[in-house]
Structure 1
């Protein structure tokens, strides 16, 4: 026995069981780390298994991540702007506002009588409680107010926030302008394949009628049911990617398992490949055809 090692043995034997268990775990991790590549793969897989579902929007080489719930609402906000024929800047403004006001969550509470994605107040004439908790109604109400602001397309977001939201802290909206711009670009179709989601397996089956109604209401396009798929023929490749991104953002809510735009496909999965679109063939397929795969 090395000199002084008996002190270590005595100290170790006097440790409580929990402490000894943690030392055993630490020793195991050291061994795993020493295994090099195998240890790295094991650790990566464990992190993937523990990670919560997330969505990622990428444009101009930058990315932001949000929860599926947040991106679900971001897709509604962006799609409605496009359906109304508004510029992408309008969607950026609306998204930055919703991130600041509610973190892109449709909440039932807020300052005084504020509600919903934009924390609009019934007492200020935005609508009834039930209306403001409807994301489609609340989003349209926001855009109705935004388009009345002359020159909003080129105005600083802090000034727009003051005009539309009557905010006491308009400078806070500027903190979320980049996030809003990346989401708007990825969801509007201007950054093809820019939106992906890592999701758990679907819960329940797809309500095809509800999905068709949401697609028509928010995006303004019709989808025809063909077996276990919903097929959309878009007017252009840009609109096709818009539909595809919207569908990925709605995949959790509507139990979708894959989305294809032309020869590019997003496949529902929990690992990091859920953030990406794969391509097949020579790229000569119909770029305006979008196929949503349902859970029967």
Structure 2
């Protein structure tokens, strides 16, 4: 009799791969990277702005929503309530913290053309002004994936969900972060978005947030990601053609 080989189960992890380069993130880190990109897209900011924000968050918190830091620093960007960035509760809201970062970033003259570490330092006023540069390449890779410029770049290997965010709440999160309003159809969200990149940004956001939301399947155009515990099972695969900018997100139990 032949032997049955049990597939190797991978710990929860998200992988971002662009042009042969890849990086791994814990699910919460991927979630925060997706949020930073989504807020930038909603605000109409270029990918370079998202890269700067991601590099800053990588340096300040390693993309973790920290409840502590130097003196009274908090959150993804280690912003300080005492310096007028917001209340402690606001700074631990990743969307608010990202908005606050971008508010300051866009006021930096020539921020799109100046060195990343110089611009980040103008916003953050860190004691380590050159530290942001070390994260630029990784941040650029993440920005390409989470802004939708690179389809199928984001995958996550996750266990079966123990809880699920209601579809209405998931739609509200997409509206708040990315600025899109998918239709709610039972336990699914569907929509035809305004561009291919926006559709892939939404799909990548849904995959990255799946650990929190309980999403089990994401379809963008003719590609499908299905939640699973092996790296092979969670690759984007060919599916039915649904239109180049079509999106479907499911949280149904399988």
Same fold flag (TM > 0.5): yes
Helix, strand or coil at the partner of 2:112: helix
Aligned ranges 1:36-75 → 2 under 5 Å = 45=7, 48-49=8-9, 51-75=10-34
Could you say which residue in structure 1 is the equivalent of 2:249? 292
Structure 2 Cα separation of the partners of residues 125 and 227 of structure 1:
42
Asked if structure 1 preserves the Cα contact closer than 8 Å seen for 2:16 and 2:23, the reply is yes
Asked if structure 2 preserves the Cα contact closer than 8 Å seen for 1:199 and 1:274, the reply is no
The reply on whether 1:174 has 2:137 as its aligned counterpart is no
How many residues end up aligned between the 2 structures? 251
Return the match for 1:126 from 67, 74, 85: 85
How far does residue 61 in structure 1 lie from its aligned partner after superposition? 1.9
Structure 1 Cα separation of the partners of residues 147 and 53 of structure 2:
13
Structure 1 Cα separation of the partners of residues 72 and 186 of structure 2:
46
Structure 2 Cα separation of the partners of residues 195 and 242 of structure 1:
10
Return the match for 1:271 from 217, 222, 230: 230
Asked if structure 1 preserves the Cα contact closer than 8 Å seen for 2:166 and 2:187, the reply is no
Helix, strand or coil at the partner of 2:24: strand
Could you say which residue in structure 2 is the equivalent of 1:96? 55
Return the match for 2:75 from 109, 116, 120: 116
Flag the 1:93–1:274 CA change in 2: closer, same or farther, 3 A: farther
Structure 2 Cα separation of the partners of residues 255 and 113 of structure 1:
33
Segments of 5+ residues of structure 1 without an aligned counterpart are 1-37
Asked if structure 2 preserves the Cα contact closer than 8 Å seen for 1:120 and 1:132, the reply is yes
Could you say which residue in structure 2 is the equivalent of 1:253? 212
Could you say which residue in structure 1 is the equivalent of 2:184? 225
Structure 1 Cα separation of the partners of residues 106 and 136 of structure 2:
18
How far does residue 174 in structure 1 lie from its aligned partner after superposition? 1.1
Structure 2 Cα separation of the partners of residues 238 and 289 of structure 1:
11
Structure 1 stretches of 4+ with a deviation exceeding 6 A read: none
Q: Please, what is the CA RMSD of the aligned residues? A: 1.6
How far does residue 205 in structure 1 lie from its aligned partner after superposition? 2.7
TM-score (norm 1): 0.81
Structure 1 Cα separation of the partners of residues 49 and 77 of structure 2:
14
Select the structure of larger CA radius of gyration.
1
Helix, strand or coil at the partner of 2:243: coil
Asked which structure has the greater RCO (Cα within 8 Å, sep 6+), the reply is 2
Return the match for 1:78 from 27, 30, 37: 37
The reply on whether 1:205 has 2:159 as its aligned counterpart is no
